């Protein structure tokens, strides 16, 4: 995935085709199956990748909601292991979970405190 991050993000480069993407997943399947059990088809490995990314995104979203939550108490934040960290960096998933206002065409505006003038 590090050599083909656009495939990991499911955002093909301009000019690439579905057959090229399918060929890459076939290569991934051959390499992963050579490492030992489990053995899966290219389609099955693609589904595994989709589920892994979804679980990682859910974990990051839960961490984000715990960070911005109010009410006190101990933090429920779950740390990421090194593999999850590298995958999050590779597919740039943090931007999806905690996007800035700039992503939606709005600048980040700091919150106004009570009694503070703009």
* CB 5 within 8 Å of CB 90: yes
Whole-model pTM: value is 0.74
pLDDT at 71: 75
Mean pLDDT lowest for which of 50-54, 56-60, 97-101, 110-114? Answer: 110-114
Res 20 pLDDT > 60: yes
pLDDT at 80: 93
If pLDDT is split at 50, 70 and 90, which confidence band does 11 have?
Answer: confident
């Amino acid at each position: 995935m590090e050599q083909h991050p656009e495939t990991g993000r499911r955002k093909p480069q301009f000019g690439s085709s579905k057959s090229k993407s399918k060929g890459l997943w076939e290569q991934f399947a051959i390499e992963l199956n050579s490492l030992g059990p489990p053995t899966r088809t290219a389609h099955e490995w693609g589904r595994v990748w989709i589920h892994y990314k979804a679980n990682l995104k859910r974990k990051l979203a839960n961490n984000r909601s715990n960070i911005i939550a109010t009410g006190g108490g101990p933090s429920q934040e779950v740390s990421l292991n090194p593999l999850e960290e590298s995958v999050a960096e590779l597919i740039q998933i943090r931007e999806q979970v905690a996007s800035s206002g700039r992503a939606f065409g709005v600048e980040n505006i700091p919150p106004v405190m009570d009694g503070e003038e703009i």
